[in-house]
Chain A
Amino acid sequence: MMRRYKNWIICLAGILALFFSGCKKQTDDHNEVTDGALKNNLFELISANPDLTTFANFLKQTGYDQVIASSRNYTAFAPVNSVLATLDASISGNPDKLKKFIGNHLANQLYYTATITATTRIKMLNNKYNNMLGNKIGDATITVKDKYASNGVLQVLDKMLPALDNCWEFLSSNPLAPVKQKDFMLSLFQNVFDTTNAIVIGVNPVTGDPIYQPGSDSVYTNLFWNRVHDLRDESKQFTLFMLTDAAWDAEVNKYKPYYVTGTTDSTTKAASWSVVKDFAVDTVYDPATIPDTILSKFSTKVPVNRPAIVQTIKVSNGIVYILSQADVQPSSKFKPYLIQAENYAATSHDRRSNTYFRDRYNTVTGKDFRDVLVLSHGVALFNIRYDITEVPSIKYKAYWVAVNDFQTVTHTQKLGIGIATSTTFGYTTVALNNFNEVYIGEFTISQYKPVFNIYLTAANSTTASANPLVCDYIRLEPSF
């Protein structure tokens, strides 16, 4: 019986088999990787390019081949073989330098020429940065652009991207850096209290403050990094001016009179700091377009005399100019002190209940201001102290604004220079309702003072109407 249907069954089975084999699942087609380029990773893409064999070999030597074969996204900026043939043997022969160099051609994430339409600082795998804009990166041009692989993109370059030193590395290790300025800047290292990495070993039973393991609570850091700019920062770009030794000496000497101290050393040091702190700005000025004057972080005008540029050195995070002359004017360097009277450092007696901080309208300037008034304090020679810092040894003219609108009789008060009872200035009568700045007089500071005290001293009287203190601000104008 079965035999009769055997042929049928065989036929049916055959048809079914055909049906199954012919059915490739749509899902598989849909999810297949369609573009051959996406089946290779970035390293495979580079290896397959005959123009990039040197680069591929360097990748292998440095171990970066493993890195860019991983599933993070990378952009490789690969110089062609002919360019890499000219690579200095001191780099290609030195594994560390080579790694740094090759790392300067690889970046995390994807950078396509089409999407980089504004200058973008790209962090490379060696933690240095290159500027990219369209098909330009650093000084190189992208000749074959936007070749994608499964985990990244390849940009082929016509030039290398040398792994330059950064500003600080240049300054500290490059022989081109002028010695005297360099020595001074390297002398600015010191230990600074910093609990970021501190190890707490106990708690002070009295104050409750943590006790840190000695040595862990401070960092050895450079004053310049903290006060001016951290020239090691690769993510920013700086212009650093360095003076040739002669120019450095001349400039320091020029400022020594303003930093009269007890010893020559400290005078030199103070003057040197005063000079150097204006020599780094966080903007890159190209040699071709550098303006004749640059405003420093401290608003000092730094003149750039182009003929005086001895050398220009490109560094990874900016540019260094070596100048044979820098004539920074003291009038630009030394700024007037404007002491807001209400922001005092101390008072001679606790008279908080007699102290008023008043919001007033200045009828002369048309501006609002806040001043301090101490009234009915009952203390003869009551005084308020102000601290000013890094005061150079120059002559100042003193002014104040003091508005006596709280009583109908005038009173007197005086500025104490250095001490409250200083006789540099006598008592000045504070006129009624005078909103004008009043010139007090001139005084000279003979020695550079890291910290200097100015006092506002009341009349030597206990009478309430005679001994008030009132002031909006005190202005000390350098006088050359």
Chain B
Amino acid sequence: MYLFKSYNLKKTAAVFMLLLVLKTGGAQVAKTGAAKVPITGTVTDAATGKGLVGIRVSVENFSAAITDENGKFSLNVPSLFTDVMISGDGYETRQLSLKGKNSITVSLLDEYHQSFQETVSLPLGKTLLRNIPAAVSKYDAAGEWTKPDETVDALLQGRVAGLNSIRRSGTPGVGANLFLRGYNSLFGTNKPLIVIDDMLYDVNDYGESIIANNYTNPLALINVQDIDNITVLKDASSIYGAKGANGAIIVTTARARQQATKIDVGIYTGVTAVPEKLPVMNAGSYRTYLGEILQSKGLSSSEIAAMPFMIDDQSHPEYYRYHNNTDWQKQIMKAGVNRNLFLKVTGGDNIATYALSVGYMKNEGIIKNTDLTRYNTRFNAEFNFSKKFTGSANLSFTYNEQNLKDQGISDKTAPVFVALTKAPFLTANEVNDKGVFSPNLEDADILGVSNPAVLIENMQAFNKYYRFFGSFKFNYAITKTLTASTLFGVVYDKVRENIFVPRKGVSNDTLNNAVADSRLGSQVKRLFSVYSDSRIEFNKVFNRLHSISSRLGLRYHHNNAEQDFALGFNSATDELISVQNGVGALRQIGGGIGEWNWMNTYFNLDYGFNNRFFVSLNAAMDGSSRFGKEAADGLAIGGVKYAVLPSLSAAWLASSEDFMKGSFIDLLKFRASYSFTGNDDIGNYTARQTYISQNLLGMQGLVRNSIPNPAIQWETSKKLNFGADIAVWNERVGVSLDVYRSKTDNMLIYEPMVSPTGIDNILTNGGSMVNMGFDASVNVRVVNTKNLKWDIGANAGKYKNEIKTPGTGFETEFAGATILTRYDNPANLFYGYKANGVFSTAAEAVSAGLRKKNADGSYSNFAAGDIRFADLNGDHIIDENDRQEIGDPNPDLFGGFTSRLAYKRFELNILFTFSQGNDVYNYVRRRLESVSGVENQLNSVVNRWRADGHVTDMPKATYGDPMGNSRFSDRWIEDGSYLRLRTASLQYNIPLKEGFVKYASVYVIGNNLLTFTKYMGYDPEFSANPGVFAQGIDTGLDPQFRSVTLGVRVGL
């Protein structure tokens, strides 16, 4: 274990800094000549009970001592009501209040123990968690040698109470949508602000991908192996002004902790497993079904019998073409291979330290011919130009290449959907009348369904994207208490995408003026931004009681984004794949330009009284090119509106008070905060008059795009938070609880316009929404012996979302679902019909007497074999008035369980994630059980209603579904709760003799190994887009999959 003392670099660094502080502190003591009160004590190892040698015990800026071989120490303290700091290599750091005692006994846990005594990175610097009045969670990522394939957003899943990280799909690198404490906006972003190394990391999407339902995740450009730690700031994020409404995720990347050169090499390789297939009908069941559908379409029995797939005569020339039993899902999925190489070098001297890393990763998706390749480099350095003048540089460049496929709702080109619905009696390859297969792939079939194998082999969809993200920072210590610093950074980001859909093997698409056989496209998205953050900082402790630190600063952010795309159609042959080969008349060219500025003036004041009371005031005044000049709120300076957003937070560390002296409670802290934050994701030009190009009969012109709203402003989020942190059992048990209520005012809503304007609606700040909830986390060191250490942890979050916009609300359509947003209800309720089974007999249907109105005004009666929809208003007509709330995609509870079991040289880390009580709309199952078309269906469709008296829950097969049996109803709403063994890693630290190789570990890492769910789709976790209205809707994105990775890490 000794070999791995540097494992947790952060702690070692903290100790280092402390030593420095102590040195100078000792000098001070002599000068001030304050009262000296001697204390004695013993520091023991909590695991063995033996005294610890070499542990530093100190009072900040006053005195320090080191324990002897029995763990004993004696120290002079200013008073018996002060705090002492205890820290040592390989052990946790602890700040202890003497509370009048002159003798203390401390047993320290090891450095892996999670406690409230850790140092966390906050927007303006590092602080001990115990002294922070805000609601903050920390995730120590320095050990992410066991998760080489994760992205930052997915990494946080199940780790932070209140942060709901929902992975978008199973596409490599696609990451997760993050929702911190519910929703704060309906039409603006709900993403927490991401800050990497003190600089905003842009994660917005500048234009939809031309690859269907693909998301280019900017966080895929961050190698998690580069990350040192992550802080999630849940409230009091006013320091980020109009960007802080969704909280902030503060990421610190690796840097050198020692001047000695250290080289870390990680090599991983893994395999992924194809997910369990959806049980679609086999060729026989499908043919029976198809016969019924064609009969209900009105084809005569002779016409059906003449269909080539119905002719069972082996001498028929097309017999072999139509008599197969193909598992199409197998055709498009395959187990993939993951590779990951990582090299990190840290070191330096007393002038400069550096951390340099390079990485290569190639992850294959479970859909054939999809993968993500990443090349990443990072250079972080810290300079001491002089004692007073220091600086740092954080530079990174990452280049990603992805081979992709369409996914989700893309009936003709998404391999997963096509494979599920493709007739199983067909095959991928052409076959002649003798049954001999050709290497050539089949064309689209007579039912109009594409060949999934062509989508895999011949369709091209790939992107290349890179980002340069770099900053320099300079600090100058003007006096001991006053520091000035400035940071300047640049982001250059580019995404290139190309698609080609061949004509052969893919069913045609219909444009408004032509039929598209082959489809070609190219897109470039570009972002350039300049960022600066300059501040003056004041730090002082008065009379050992009052600590004050204050900052005044200015941030400036200039952004320039551009998107350009070209789509072409019908290239002359399938060999001509680039967009210029499309037919000229059908070419579509478009894009968008976005330019905006943000200026944020901020002020911060942290006050601490005797390490007991903490108050923090943060305030920001934001100007943005996005705000309207006539915004209702804010401060007008020179005709421009500035958002003024303050927050105040306070904490009381009750356990440091004397009356807690005899208590079994080691730490008890109460927190409260109230903050105003803003959301500036209101569109770059909503306040301005905009025009868009319009093609009319071949003439290109400009038309009005919108009506300007000069009163548009930021959304204001008011957050109230109460929290408590408790630690007992020698801090082996730590519990953190938070309750919160956040209210978004001035929330963006689309207000309908009167028709003469020619514009459907206008964005206004007319909405309001409330989130209430709690977060809780608990960490327990269950077993703590010399050889066996077992930590378990759990965290959970719950939120209740309520719309407070007055009025009747509105409905949103997504993937055939109707989502209701109405006063006093959650923002995104599934709103549809309730199905009460299937009419078994004609008599039953007649006695129910239900009917529906057709488009031509006539009525059709629901008959035997149709769904019995609930008739809410009792008028016997099933129409939109019979809809009701049928589901809520928001979970009752979400979070994770962790376990870390270390036995001798083995370490087993386990993370379970769960989501409980969330409803899911299974769009894919709706398509696969619609019983209304020629597409293949789930095997459950074999149970479709057949004849009078058949009791079943699957309606009869009717072409085109004239009665709307597959309409959006609770038939498609499922319980999306799940418990998943998200990651499990087993690590063995190889014993080595001191030599060239300093340490080595081997890893076996499993991802998504087990999932317990009642959900009937591939996987209950998906997020089609970051919007509130897309949550809980399974549009058939590529599913999550299991993977097992073997890795080795070597330290030189």
Give the complex CA separation of A151 and B285 in angstroms: 8
Structural contact, A35 and B943, CB atoms closer than 8 A = yes
Give the complex CA separation of A37 and B944 in angstroms: 12
Minimal Cβ-Cβ distance residue in B for A122: B301
Report chain B residues within 8 Å CB of A145: 948
Q: How large is the interface on B (under 10, 10 to 19, 20 to 34, 35 or more residues)?
A: 35 or more
Q: Does B842 contact A (CB under 8 A)?
A: yes
CB distance from A456 to the nearest CB of B (A): 51
Q: Does B586 contact A (CB under 8 A)?
A: no
Contact with B along A344-372 (1 / 0, CB 8 A): 00000000000000000000000000000
Report chain A residues within 8 Å CB of B305: 72, 108
Structural contact, B946 and A153, CB atoms closer than 8 A = yes
Q: Does A46 contact B (CB under 8 A)?
A: no
Per a CB cutoff under 8 Å, which of B312, B788, B950 touches A70?
B312
Quick one: given A30-B940, A35-B952, A110-B295, are A72 and B288 in contact (CB under 8 Å)? yes
Give the complex CA separation of A122 and B312 in angstroms: 21
Structural contact, A23 and B947, CB atoms closer than 8 A = no
Contact with B along A124-152 (1 / 0, CB 8 A): 00000000000000000000011110110
Q: Does A104 contact B (CB under 8 A)?
A: no
Give the complex CA separation of A38 and B281 in angstroms: 13
Structural contact, B943 and A1, CB atoms closer than 8 A = no
Per a CB cutoff under 8 Å, which of A33, A67, A70, A109 touches B942?
A33
Minimal Cβ-Cβ distance residue in B for A146: B947
CB distance from B132 to the nearest CB of A (A): 36
Report chain A residues within 8 Å CB of B292: 73, 110
Structural contact, B284 and A71, CB atoms closer than 8 A = yes
Minimal Cβ-Cβ distance residue in B for A152: B288
Give the complex CA separation of A151 and B946 in angstroms: 10
Structural contact, A109 and B304, CB atoms closer than 8 A = yes
Q: Does B6 contact A (CB under 8 A)?
A: no
Q: Does A112 contact B (CB under 8 A)?
A: yes
Give the complex CA separation of A453 and B917 in angstroms: 93
Report chain B residues within 8 Å CB of A153: 946-947
Binds A, one of B372-380, B386-394, B1009-1017: B1009-1017
Per a CB cutoff under 8 Å, which of B288, B301, B783, B947 touches A151?
B288
Q: Does B302 contact A (CB under 8 A)?
A: yes
Structural contact, B939 and A31, CB atoms closer than 8 A = yes
CB distance from A125 to the nearest CB of B (A): 9
Minimal Cβ-Cβ distance residue in A for B1014: A26
Report chain A residues within 8 Å CB of B1016: 26-27, 30
Structural contact, A72 and B301, CB atoms closer than 8 A = no
Q: Does A5 contact B (CB under 8 A)?
A: yes
Q: Does A123 contact B (CB under 8 A)?
A: yes
Report chain B residues within 8 Å CB of A451: none
Report chain A residues within 8 Å CB of B312: 67, 70, 72
CB distance from B655 to the nearest CB of A (A): 32
Report chain B residues within 8 Å CB of A197: none
Q: Does B787 contact A (CB under 8 A)?
A: yes
Structural contact, A148 and B1014, CB atoms closer than 8 A = no
CB distance from A477 to the nearest CB of B (A): 46
Structural contact, B284 and A107, CB atoms closer than 8 A = no
Give the complex CA separation of A70 and B939 in angstroms: 18
Quick one: given A31-B940, A107-B301, are A114 and B288 in contact (CB under 8 Å)? no
Structural contact, A150 and B295, CB atoms closer than 8 A = no
Structural contact, A73 and B288, CB atoms closer than 8 A = yes
Per a CB cutoff under 8 Å, which of B285, B783, B940, B948 touches A71?
B285
Q: Does B650 contact A (CB under 8 A)?
A: no
Q: Does A34 contact B (CB under 8 A)?
A: yes
Report chain A residues within 8 Å CB of B950: 35, 37, 148
Give the complex CA separation of A153 and B950 in angstroms: 12
Contact with B along A70-111 (1 / 0, CB 8 A): 111100000000000000000000000000000000011110
Contact with A along B1003-1046 (1 / 0, CB 8 A): 00000000011111000000000000000000000000000000
Contact with B along A14-56 (1 / 0, CB 8 A): 0000010001001110111111011000000000000000000
Structural contact, B948 and A150, CB atoms closer than 8 A = no
Report chain A residues within 8 Å CB of B1014: 26
Report chain B residues within 8 Å CB of A112: 947-948
Structural contact, B943 and A71, CB atoms closer than 8 A = no
Give the complex CA separation of A110 and B947 in angstroms: 10
CB distance from B517 to the nearest CB of A (A): 32
Give the complex CA separation of A145 and B938 in angstroms: 28
Q: Does B100 contact A (CB under 8 A)?
A: no
Contact with A along B314-330 (1 / 0, CB 8 A): 00000000000000000
Structural contact, A114 and B942, CB atoms closer than 8 A = no
Per a CB cutoff under 8 Å, which of A1, A72, A146 touches B787?
A1
Give the complex CA separation of A112 and B1015 in angstroms: 36
CB distance from B910 to the nearest CB of A (A): 12
A263-293 contacts to B, CB under 8 A, are: none
Give the complex CA separation of A108 and B312 in angstroms: 13
Give the complex CA separation of A150 and B785 in angstroms: 64
Report chain A residues within 8 Å CB of B952: 34-35
Q: Does B283 contact A (CB under 8 A)?
A: yes
Report chain B residues within 8 Å CB of A122: 301
Structural contact, B288 and A5, CB atoms closer than 8 A = no
Report chain A residues within 8 Å CB of B270: none
Report chain B residues within 8 Å CB of A109: 291, 295, 301, 304
Q: Does B279 contact A (CB under 8 A)?
A: yes
Structural contact, A108 and B304, CB atoms closer than 8 A = yes
Q: Does B341 contact A (CB under 8 A)?
A: no
Contact with A along B600-640 (1 / 0, CB 8 A): 00000000000000000000000000000000000000000
Structural contact, A38 and B301, CB atoms closer than 8 A = no
Q: Does B310 contact A (CB under 8 A)?
A: yes
CB distance from B98 to the nearest CB of A (A): 36
Structural contact, A71 and B288, CB atoms closer than 8 A = yes
Structural contact, B943 and A33, CB atoms closer than 8 A = yes
Minimal Cβ-Cβ distance residue in A for B979: A19
Report chain A residues within 8 Å CB of B301: 107-109, 122-123
Give the complex CA separation of A38 and B944 in angstroms: 10
Report chain A residues within 8 Å CB of B787: 1
Give the complex CA separation of A213 and B305 in angstroms: 32
Quick one: given A31-B279, A70-B312, A73-B295, are A148 and B939 in contact (CB under 8 Å)? no
Structural contact, A38 and B947, CB atoms closer than 8 A = no
Give the complex CA separation of A67 and B313 in angstroms: 11
Minimal Cβ-Cβ distance residue in B for A124: B301
Q: Does B864 contact A (CB under 8 A)?
A: yes
Give the complex CA separation of A37 and B942 in angstroms: 11
Give the complex CA separation of A109 and B295 in angstroms: 7
Contact with A along B254-286 (1 / 0, CB 8 A): 000000000000000000000000110001111
Report chain A residues within 8 Å CB of B1015: 26
Minimal Cβ-Cβ distance residue in A for B284: A71
Structural contact, A38 and B946, CB atoms closer than 8 A = yes
Report chain B residues within 8 Å CB of A72: 287-288, 291, 305, 310, 312
Q: Which 10 A-B pairs have the closest CB atoms?
A: A71-B284, A148-B946, A146-B947, A73-B291, A26-B1014, A71-B287, A31-B939, A108-B301, A109-B301, A31-B279
20 additional A-B pairs beyond A72-B287, A148-B950, beta carbons within 8 Å, are A1-B788, A5-B783, A19-B1012, A26-B1013, A27-B1016, A28-B279, A31-B279, A31-B938, A33-B942, A35-B943, A71-B284, A71-B287, A71-B288, A107-B301, A108-B291, A109-B295, A109-B301, A110-B292, A114-B864, A150-B288
Residues of B within 8 A of A (CB): 278-279, 283-288, 291-292, 295, 300-302, 304-305, 310, 312, 783, 785, 787-788, 842, 864, 903, 938-940, 942-943, 946-952, 1012-1016
Residues of A within 8 A of B (CB): 1-2, 5, 19, 23, 26-28, 30-35, 37-38, 67, 70-73, 107-110, 112, 114, 122-123, 145-148, 150-151, 153
User: 16 pairs across A/B with beta carbons < 8 Å?
Assistant: A1-B903, A5-B783, A28-B279, A67-B312, A71-B286, A71-B287, A71-B288, A72-B305, A73-B292, A109-B301, A123-B300, A148-B946, A150-B285, A150-B288, A150-B942, A153-B947
